[in-house]
Amino acid sequence: MSHCQAALLLDRGALRVTGADAAKFLQGIITSDLDKTEDGGAVHAALLTPQGKILFDFFVVADDGGFLIEAAKDTLPELSTRLGFYRLRAAVEIAEVPDLQVAAVWDGTADLPEGATSFADPRLAALGTRILLPKGSTIGGCDESGAGAYHAHRIRLGVPEGGRDFALGDSFPHEALFDQLNGVDFEKGCFVGQEVVSRMQHRGTTRKRVVPVEGDAPLEAGTEVRAGDLPIGRIGSVDGQFGLALLRLDRAADASAKGTKLTAGETAITLHKPAFAQFDVPA
């Protein structure tokens, strides 16, 4: 068998956006530049509130004259409705695609079934490939892994996921590392919430970030992180002693300078800087 790993992500699904105005419609509201989907590429993007907070995070890939949006399955009905609010008189159709399932492949290349759409994960090359494939079909040439193996891989790389590591509707793109993981294009022009996000970028005012953490014992998702007695954030995804946490890094830095330990419940934790990060993480 190949060394590559493949995992079905059963909590993911897809919308199809078609129509003469589909490209112009999406380009005007999402955070990334849709022109990057040409030639089989994909974008990592979000739909924001006017106040600049993430409502939905997803991938967009070109598909037969239209686009496929891959997102968390339980958000698809609301995402479809929200997109409809912006449609107005545009020639656009939005529909769920129940006959597609989502998989991730990493550490190698898979053999794809007929009818599959694949794209390199636009966030980070080490995440591998994402595949939209017909339900009932299988991926060949890889060791079959569960979704837990994919999330463990993602956690070790320091890549957050909406609903697990940051709250949808209550997090800014910079907090969720969209500025680090190709989730916002600051050159593309207007999108919903652009003014707030651009201001945060230019002023460098981000105080909270999702960062990898390591405990001296297994971590539990949802546990509050404290610097001494001061709350500074919360644990998100976990894989044994490793996890991701959305933290006030300024408070973590103050704690580091004072020699104050960080804890998640009764577990002492240390912070790590992802290899891709262009921001400081306190030692």
Break the chain into its structural domains and give their ranges.
5-157, 207-271
The overall average pLDDT reported for the chain is 96
Task: Classify domain 5-157 at the CATH superfamily level.
Answer: Probable tRNA modification gtpase trme; domain 1 (3.30.1360.120)
Residues 104-118, mean pLDDT to the nearest whole number = 94
* pLDDT per position as a tens digit, 57-92: 999 999 988 999 999 999 999 999 999 999 989 999
HSE of 170, CA atoms in CB hemisphere, 13 A: 6
Element (H, E) at 203: helix 194-203
Element (H, E) at 202: helix 194-203
Q: CA 142, CA 4: separation in Å to the nearest integer? A: 5
Task: Tell me the pTM.
Answer: 0.95
CATH class, domain 207-271, is mainly beta
The pLDDT of residue 189: 86
